[in-house]
């Protein structure tokens, strides 16, 4: 079955750590360019393709949370993901470096 296409739409999904994510498996360089533009000063890096599932947040802090799961898990969707000070963050945020 072909993977569904999602538009590149960077969203903040972290709470204690800055995390950016977009539904779909996007080109990592294009994703990072968009993530750094959308979230300036977050020093994002470590882009990865993941599989996620939206699950209820039992703490009540959020409506739902995203859990990383294996490909093929019922309800799983593809995501491109990065986080604060992830691998190569200095390269992706070079224009912000002193």
Answer for the pair 82, 47: CB distance below 8 angstroms, yes or no.
yes
Residue 95: the pLDDT is 72
Q: Shortest CA distance to 93 belongs to which of 41, 54, 18, 22?
A: 41
Answer for the pair 59, 44: CB distance below 8 angstroms, yes or no.
no
Phi, psi of 8 (to 5 degrees): -70, 115
Mean pLDDT of 76-98: 88
pLDDT digits (tens, 9 = 90+) for 2-36: 556 899 999 999 877 899 999 999 999 999 999 99
CA dist., res. 59 & res. 62, Å (int): 7
pLDDT digits (tens, 9 = 90+) for 40-72: 989 999 999 999 999 998 887 878 889 999 999
CA dist., res. 85 & res. 62, Å (int): 24
- The number of beta carbons lying within 10 Å of the beta carbon of residue 54 is 13
The CA angle 15-19-23, to the nearest 5 degrees, is: 115
């Amino acid at each position: 079955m072909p993977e569904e296409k999602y538009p590149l739409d960077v969203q903040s999904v972290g709470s204690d750590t800055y995390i950016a994510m977009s539904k779909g498996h996007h080109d990592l360089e294009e994703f990072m360019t968009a993530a750094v533009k959308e979230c300036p000063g977050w020093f994002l890096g470590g882009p990865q393709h993941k599989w996620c599932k939206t699950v209820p947040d039992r703490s009540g802090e959020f409506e739902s949370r995203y859990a990383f799961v294996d490909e093929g898990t019922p309800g799983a969707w593809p995501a491109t993901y990065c986080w604060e000070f992830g691998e190569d963050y200095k390269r992706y945020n070079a224009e912000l470096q002193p």
